[in-house]
Amino acid sequence: MQPHTVIVAFIAVCTAIMLFFMLKRKCLFKGILASVFQGVAALYAVKLLGLVTGVSVAVNWYTLGTAAVLGSPGVVLMLAAQTIFH
């Protein structure tokens, strides 16, 4: 199995778990909106801090989508994947 397939499968499982708990607590819209805002803010914070630390994630449609769907854990996942597979 290729590393790309494993990452996509992991993202799909995490998304399903997040949606399950948001539906269970009956806060789907607020939860999704908060997750999107938090993830995109974390992505841009990593990008800005990358100028100082040297660790950065490129901002494109894939990283924005991952940050929007998974939130801050998605940004951490992208940083970990970049460290492991780079």
| Extents of the domains making up the chain | 3-85
Please write the tens of the pLDDT for every residue from 43-83: 999 999 888 888 888 889 988 888 888 888 889 888 888 88
What's the pLDDT score for residue 65? 87
Rounded to an integer, what distance in angstroms lies between the CA atom of residue 13 and that of residue 10? 5
Rounded to an integer, what distance in angstroms lies between the CA atom of residue 4 and that of residue 29? 30
Eight-class DSSP state of 86: -
Q: What is the pTM of this model?
A: 0.69
Report CA 56 to chain centroid distance, whole Å: 14
Rounded to an integer, what distance in angstroms lies between the CA atom of residue 61 and that of residue 7? 16
Judged against a pLDDT cut of 70, whether residue 1 lies above it is answered with no
Please write the tens of the pLDDT for every residue from 12-48: 888 788 788 878 888 778 877 888 899 999 999 999 9
What's the pLDDT score for residue 4? 77
- Give 3-state DSSP helix, strand, coil % of the chain, rounded to 5: 85, 0, 15
